[in-house]
Amino acid sequence: MKIYTKNGDLGYTSFLSGKRILKSDLRIESYGAVDELNSWIGLLRSQAVNKSREEELLEIQDRLFTIGSLLANDSENLKFKTPQLNTTDIDYLEQKIDAMEARLPKLKNFILPGGNQSVSYGHIARTVCRRVERKVVSLTLDSKIDDLVVKYLNRLSDYLFVLCRMMAQELGTTETPWEPRM
| Per-residue pLDDT tens over the stretch 37-96 | 999 999 999 999 999 999 999 999 999 999 998 998 876 666 667 789 999 999 999 999
What structural domains and CATH numbers belong to the chain?
A: 12-73+82-174 (1.20.1200.10)
Q: At what angle do helices 147-171 and 54-71 cross, to 10 degrees?
A: 150
Return all residues near 64 (Cβ < 8 A) that are at least 6 apart.
Answer: 34, 37, 38, 41
Return all residues near 165 (Cβ < 8 A) that are at least 6 apart.
Answer: 100, 104, 107, 111, 175
Can you give the pTM of this predicted structure?
A: 0.90
Amino acid at 33: A
Q: What percent of the chain has pLDDT over 70?
A: 89
Three-class secondary structure of residue 111 per DSSP: strand
Query: Residue 28: in which H helix or E strand, if any?
Result: helix 26-45
Residue 75's pLDDT is 64
Return all residues near 166 (Cβ < 8 A) that are at least 6 apart.
Answer: 100, 103, 104
pLDDT at 10 over 70: no
Compute the distance between CA of residue 127 and CA of residue 130 in angstroms, rounded to an integer. Answer: 5
24 by Cβ neighbours in 10 Å (0-12 / 13-18 / 19+) ranks as: exposed
